[in-house]
Amino acid sequence: MKYTIIIALALLLGACNKSFLEQRPIGTLDEAVLATPSGVNGLLIGAYSLLDGNGSVQSGNSSIGMNVFASMPSDDSFVGTIPNALLASIEGFTYDPTTTIFDMKWRIQYAAVQRCNDVLRILPKVSGLDEAESTQIEAEARFLRGVYHLNTALLWKNIPFIDETISYGAENYNVSNTEPVWPRIEADFQFAADNLTDTKAEVGRANKWAAKCFLVKAYMFQHKFDEAAPLLDEIIAQGVTSNGLKYDLAPHYFDNFSTATKHGPEAVFTVQMSVRDGANGQNGNTLEASGGPYGSPATTGYGWTQPKFDLVNAYQTDPETGLPLLTNYNDHPVKTDQGISSAEPFTPHEGTLDSRLDWNVGRRGIPFLDWGVHPGQAWIRSQNVGGPFTVIKHIAWKYRKDTDIEQRFTNSPLNLIRFADVLLWAAEVEVERGNLAKAESYVNRVRERAANPDGWVKKYINDNNPDEGFSTIPAANYKVGLYTGQFVENGQDFAREAVRMERRLELALEHHRLFDLQRYDNGTGYMARTLNNALEFHRKIAGFDYSYVADGFFTQGKNEIYPIPLAQIDLSTTEGKPTLIQNPGYK
């Protein structure tokens, strides 16, 4: 199954305000056409199509993915390329409720919610479906509605929940954001978990186990560890992918990001992409591909979302044990070619590193998939403001360029949840419940893959001709060790930090980091300390111009969530008072 954008959707609602609801869709279809099996399935595919955050014509500028909101303001990535004021305000926490990108994203999210509601509104009027088919459509629509509301809650926390009863005709579209939203998100996922089948004929559709995993995610962000624990045990023991594979880690780390292996045992829920389908690449991974190395043969992307020094330094390991350096990894940074031209000689870092670094980050002197040895500055638009690193995830292999790349788009997958994510949630839960040995076993299961030399980046047989293939020689000094009782020996605080580091190393640049910090914080100031330390660290790097966030500062009690867009607050006014209430700390 591929997700294509349905351009003639009826009953589309917007971000829950009269102005948006009054807009008549272009090419509106008659309800009689939609109230058919093919019509309602078309609406459902339209609901799936916004999972990548791209393609909502109502948004004005719809190319806004979670890379902007979850990676750039975290300690994972810079804006990259040549920063503009809008993105710089996100990275430096200097935005306010009038910052236009928030209104754009709000509209995208609620346009997606309303596509789900379109399905649920039309479904009772459809003839020609049996009860089982109707239930599957309802469950998929409610699953997607849960996903869209959950992602919206991560951004703003205090949001309105919009169901299929909300409409302009009913004059109930000004929905408050003061009512608890999590119980209703849970209810959608629970319905989906109770009713979806274990497998699907089309691999891109949600199954029962994906719904259970998203229910766990909802629990995690409410710190409901006791509720999450038995569900995680069940998922880990019995869960299967939509194409029937028992949940497991993929044999090699990069299998999760390659189009050739994207439907493997680790794919809990993966957004499907398509290129060379007559849409000029527009159904491809538009937002992620644009983060590829600027000027390289691998992509014509803009080079935005470049990895931060802090992230790269975190991949250093103890030379004796191969374990992460949990607290002092920035004391002796990874050697880089910052300020060194591609024509000058450079020897990459020779210290011990976690093998996942070079599957996540392109760096000078290391093979960049099969495209060639990364040359440094020649593949970076502006190293002095973007740094010396590029992103590898979501870049297609050269040997598959004729099927996987179209213009600057790829059909590389976007993993919303993969099984490693589930294992590390389980580790987090067991740390908080005091089961430290069990938590360590989950972390080691993830680390065992990273420790296996079969899955490491290797040097080319011939650097001048990558087409000759790879040698058996590791591309860098990789050393990844397992924990051997340290969780119990060193206690809960140590175990907690070890799990948090493992999530960062495993899930880097997959747009979880800011929300993980948000979850870890829970009023402790952990998020503020982490991100302000990262800001200060990068300001001190020689030869790196971080002046575009010179005033950047994370304010505790405010920047953990984003401001409700002022435009939406204004549109929600009823009898002179806004229905939407601004988040704390914003005016």
Exposure b/e, 298-329, CB count within 10 A at least 16 = b: bbebbbbbbbbbbbbbbbbbeeeebbbbeeeb
Q: What b/e sequence results for 209-226 when a residue is b if at least 16 CB atoms lie within 10 Å of its CB, and e otherwise?
A: bbbbbbbbbbbbbeeebe
* Nearest CA among 468, 478, 409 for reference residue 447: 478
Q: What are phi and psi of 391, to 5 degrees?
A: -95, 140
Minimal CA–CA distance to 182: which of 133, 216, 219, 212? 219
pLDDT of residue 220: 98
- Report the pLDDT value the prediction gives residue 9, as an integer from 0 to 100: 32
Q: What per-residue confidence (pLDDT) applies to 293?
A: 85
CATH code for the domain defined by 288-398+439-543: 1.25.40.390
Q: Are 376 and 368 in contact (CB under 8 A)?
A: no
- pLDDT, tens digit only, all 587 positions of the chain: 443 333 233 333 333 444 444 444 444 567 778 999 999 999 999 999 999 876 543 433 334 678 889 999 999 999 887 778 899 999 999 999 999 999 999 999 999 999 999 999 999 999 999 999 999 999 999 999 999 999 999 999 999 999 999 988 888 889 999 999 999 999 999 999 999 999 999 999 999 999 999 999 999 999 999 999 999 999 999 999 999 999 999 999 999 999 999 999 999 999 998 889 988 888 888 767 667 788 888 875 677 789 999 999 999 999 999 999 999 999 999 999 999 999 999 999 999 999 999 999 999 999 999 999 999 999 998 898 899 999 998 889 999 999 998 887 888 888 999 999 999 999 999 999 999 999 999 999 999 999 999 999 999 999 999 999 999 999 999 999 999 999 999 999 999 999 999 999 999 999 999 999 999 999 999 999 999 999 999 999 998 999 999 999 999 999 999 999 999 999 999 889 999 999 999 98
CA-to-CA distance for 116 and 189, rounded, in angstroms?
A: 13
Name the β-bridge partners of 267: 418
Residue-level pLDDT at 408: 77
Question: What is the reported pLDDT for 287?
Answer: 67
Contacts of 199 (CB under 8 A, 6+ apart): 207, 240, 241, 242, 243, 244
Return the amino acid letter for 314. Answer: A
Cα(181)–Cα(352) distance, rounded to whole angstroms? Answer: 45
pLDDT at res. 289: 65
Query: Residue 106: enclosing H or E segment and its boundaries?
Result: helix 100-122
Closest CA to 104 of 41, 170, 155: 155
Distance (Å, whole) CA 562 – CA 577: 22
Tell me, what DSSP letter sits at residue 240? B
Residue 363's nearest CA partner among 384, 334, 385, 343 is: 334
| Tokens read off for 537 | 């660290």
Q: How far apart are CA 306 and CA 76, in angstroms?
A: 9
- The 3 state secondary structure assigned to 119-160 is HHHHHHHCCCCCHHHHHHHHHHHHHHHHHHHHHHHHHHCCCC
Which residue's structure tokens are 């002197």? 365
pLDDT of residue 301: 65
Terminal-to-terminal C-alpha distance of the chain: 45
Tokens of 383: 């190293």
| Cα 19 versus chain centre, distance | 31
Quick count: other Cβ atoms within 10 Å of Cβ 141?
Answer: 28
**pTM of this structure:** 0.93
- Strands (E) located in 385-535: 390-391, 405-406, 409-410, 414-418, 458-460, 470-474
CA pair distance 449, 246, nearest whole angstrom = 17
Rg (C-alpha) for the chain, rounded Å, is 23
Whose tokens are 């003061």? That residue is 178
Phi–psi pair at 362, nearest 5 degrees? -85, 130
